Amino acid sequence: MKLFLSGNEAIAFGLIAAGVRFGVGYPGTPSSEVLPTAMEISKKYNINGFFEWSVNEKVAFEEATASSIAGIGSFVVMKQVGLNVAMDPFMNTALVGSPGGLVVVVADDPGPHSSQTEQDSRFLAFFAKIPVLEPATPKEAYEFSKFAFSLSKEFEIPVMLRTTTRVSHSREDIDVSINNNLRAKAEFKRDVDRFAATPHFRFLLHKQLNRKVREISNLEWYSDFEEYFEGDLLIITSGISFAYLYDIVEENRLQNKLKLLRVRMPYPLNVEKLKERVKGYDRVFVIEEGYPVIEMQLGNREQFRGRLTGDVPQEGELTIDEIKKVLGRIGVLSLENEEPLNPPFKRPSLCPGCGHRSAFYAIKKAFKNEAIYTGDIGCYTLGLNLNAVDTVHCMGASVSFGFGFDRVYSIFGDKDKPVVATIGDSTFFHSGIPPLIDAVHNYSKLILVILDNSTVAMTGNQTTPANEFSQSGRRTKPIVIEDVVKAIGVDFLRVRDAYDMDGMIEDLSEAQKFTLNNSSPAVLIFRHPCVYSGEGLKNNVRFRKVFVESNLCTGCKVCVKQFECPSLIYDSESKKVFIDFTTCIRCGQCVVSCPFEAIKVEK
């Protein structure tokens, strides 16, 4: 059957068609749609399998490794920074291997568009010595998923399927098939020299790994290069860059100028075979999205030109326009000097009615510019707009940064400095718990605010461990955040609806007193369902009318600046604020932000 699928959806179809029956991961843009698609396929076509979110990428990786060791075809999916979290099991699974097959789906985010780094996961495949396949289109994502799994199963080695934002989020008509006749059987074959290997056996496993990699680098299809066009200028390419180059050649009729040599598997790269193909060319360009993984393996900077030689930009997304500029500089394409028109810029902002906005507003009212505000990864990073976030680093770092700041200010500061950390519920489960243990254990004066909307909102409202049902619809045991916090030994805990402005401000001031008097952390849970979810919006407070009384509005813009709701619009002609009814959800939370009481609600 032919479907119009995104790269991410195609991966789920490909893996299940190949026989994968166990899939786990943690959401993160641009990877988030793979696992939910697997859940849907499994439900729709009665596939007996397990496809669920895990608490974080490290845990997911280990769960999938175990499943694979027990002989079940498995995959684990994450974004590039998620692989950093999973690094420990990732390296070791490469060594131990994956008897039932294990595909590691990693979506990179060059640019970056929604990440803290633009790292290239192919380098980590290289580092762990596992093969990596790089599809260029959604259709290839479907096909390469199958190739990745069969390679993994045959060699009992995890295989990485690396996509980038543009492959994950492109769509294409794809002819897919479903295999629901597979009979999977769990069978763990005890082998302590392998699965509980001591260092001596690790050396032997490393030797085996090297042998596998050598064999794979000679495998047909995987180590083959696709050749396109007949020109004199040779370009080695892979992934999305290949698709772009192909389109540029076709659209600009460069068939007689360029020749493309496309790599399917950037590691292990058969360098000898590739060098054979480039004989006679003085200069060969390497154009690949991400780091110079292929280029670096080729050596010889005189002959091979790319990112390392400065011929291709060394940072940022390699968009089709950037590639055209590279070709312009080489002299095969004449370029217009005109700067492309960009769309009007709109600052990203929390949704109108988001409980996080009210929470940040309360935090800012309570601590003004006195505190250090450590933030975290999620929608609430946008607390930046309310000046209530000073640092954003990586998952869970709000808590450990908070601990670090408080400690150095206690020892080396002129005076005590309040530190307020903000973290979302899912990020707290993911990696906020270990640093909170440190903070409690070491008598930190940290104030931790858990912004709980009971969902992974940023990446598309996936479920969290606090939910009663998993995303695939299984009944699950909800993990209660306050129980976790109490169990760690936090002596000050308050739970408050994030729409209760006065209550939150009171909690924050009590928390500050407590931390100072007791040298112990305080935890506040400001809870409000995500209004971006259907359920959250349906049950949300809704006034009949929320409006600005024009004669009371002085045009001071305090509401726009301090409350920062995108539905509050300043009209420069009338010099007044009005409410944009197309986006306003009539929650009335903005009322407190007007110093002249011009924002009114009608019940």
Question: Which residue stretches of 32-96 are H helix?
Answer: 34-44, 57-69, 80-85, 87-96
Q: Is residue 217 helix, strand or coil?
A: coil
Number of residues that make up the chain: 603
Q: Which two tokens stand for residue 463?
A: 């479920």
Q: Which residue in the set 512, 566, 577, 599 belongs to the binding site for other proteins (CB under 8 A)? A: 566
Distance CA 22, CA 16 (A): 9
Q: Which residue in the set 10, 41, 236, 243 belongs to the binding site for other proteins (CB under 8 A)? A: 243
Shortest distance (Å) from residue 344 CB to other proteins: 6
With contact defined as beta carbons under 8 Å apart, do 163 and 108 qualify? yes
* 342 near other proteins, judged by CB under 8 A: yes
CA 338 centroid distance within chain: 34
Q: Which residue in the set 49, 352, 529, 536 belongs to the binding site for other proteins (CB under 8 A)? A: 352
Shortest distance (Å) from residue 521 CB to other proteins: 31
* 356 near other proteins, judged by CB under 8 A: no
Distance CA 110, CA 290 (A): 6
Shortest distance (Å) from residue 483 CB to other proteins: 30
Q: Which residue in the set 191, 215, 230, 250 belongs to the binding site for other proteins (CB under 8 A)? A: 250
Q: Which residue in the set 53, 144, 222, 246 belongs to the binding site for other proteins (CB under 8 A)? A: 246
Q: How far apart, in Å, are the Cα atoms of 49 and each of 13, 20, 46, 476?
A: 14, 8, 9, 16
Distance CA 470, CA 169 (A): 24
Shortest distance (Å) from residue 240 CB to other proteins: 7
- 270-277: which pairs have CB atoms within 8 A and are 24 or more residues apart? 270/217, 270/218, 270/223, 271/297, 271/298, 273/223, 273/225, 274/225, 274/236, 274/298, 277/225, 277/227
* DSSP at 4: E
Q: Which residue in the set 45, 117, 173, 574 belongs to the binding site for other proteins (CB under 8 A)? A: 173
Q: Which residue in the set 58, 162, 166, 430 belongs to the binding site for other proteins (CB under 8 A)? A: 166
* C-beta closer to other proteins: residue 479 or 560: 560
* 600 near other proteins, judged by CB under 8 A: no
Shortest distance (Å) from residue 384 CB to other proteins: 11
* 583 near other proteins, judged by CB under 8 A: yes
With contact defined as beta carbons under 8 Å apart, do 445 and 521 qualify? yes
Q: Which residue in the set 429, 526, 532, 563 belongs to the binding site for other proteins (CB under 8 A)? A: 532
* C-beta closer to other proteins: residue 165 or 400: 165
* 343 near other proteins, judged by CB under 8 A: yes
Q: Which residue in the set 251, 282, 414, 468 belongs to the binding site for other proteins (CB under 8 A)? A: 251
In angstroms and rounded to an integer, the radius of gyration of the C-alpha atoms of the chain is 27
Shortest distance (Å) from residue 173 CB to other proteins: 5
* C-beta closer to other proteins: residue 57 or 289: 289
Shortest distance (Å) from residue 343 CB to other proteins: 4
Shortest distance (Å) from residue 379 CB to other proteins: 8
Shortest distance (Å) from residue 549 CB to other proteins: 25
Residues 89-118 that bind other proteins (CB under 8 A): 113-114
H-helix or E-strand spanning residue 541: none
Q: Judging by DSSP bridges, how do beta strands 159-164 and 284-287 pair with one another? A: unpaired
Distance CA 149, CA 51 (A): 16
CA 418 centroid distance within chain: 31
* C-beta closer to other proteins: residue 98 or 463: 463
Distance CA 78, CA 322 (A): 27
Shortest distance (Å) from residue 310 CB to other proteins: 25
Residues 382-421 that bind other proteins (CB under 8 A): 382
Residues 320-339 that bind other proteins (CB under 8 A): 320-321
Closest CA to 407 of 363, 449, 367, 438: 438
* 534 near other proteins, judged by CB under 8 A: no
* 44 near other proteins, judged by CB under 8 A: no
Residues 304-323 that bind other proteins (CB under 8 A): 320-321
* 169 near other proteins, judged by CB under 8 A: yes
* C-beta closer to other proteins: residue 135 or 588: 135
Distance CA 494, CA 515 (A): 13
Contact pattern for other proteins over residues 120 through 139, marking x by CB under 8 A? ----------------xxx-
The Cβ-side half-sphere exposure at 64, using a 13 Å CA radius, reads 38
Q: Which residue in the set 172, 322, 390, 482 belongs to the binding site for other proteins (CB under 8 A)? A: 172
Closest CA to 95 of 156, 20, 161, 162: 156
* DSSP at 480: P
Strands (DSSP E) contained in 469-572 are: 492-497, 522-527, 545-548, 568-571
Distance CA 531, CA 554 (A): 30
Shortest distance (Å) from residue 171 CB to other proteins: 5
Residues 3-42 that bind other proteins (CB under 8 A): 3-4, 6
* DSSP at 523: E
Shortest distance (Å) from residue 531 CB to other proteins: 9
* C-beta closer to other proteins: residue 168 or 562: 168
Q: How many residues bind other proteins (CB under 8 A)?
A: 42
* 2 near other proteins, judged by CB under 8 A: yes
CA 371 centroid distance within chain: 29
* 181 near other proteins, judged by CB under 8 A: no
Distance CA 73, CA 10 (A): 17
Residues of this chain that bind other proteins (CB under 8 A):
2-4, 6, 113-114, 136-138, 166, 169-173, 240, 242-244, 246-247, 250-251, 320-321, 340-344, 346-349, 351-352, 379, 382, 532, 566, 582-583
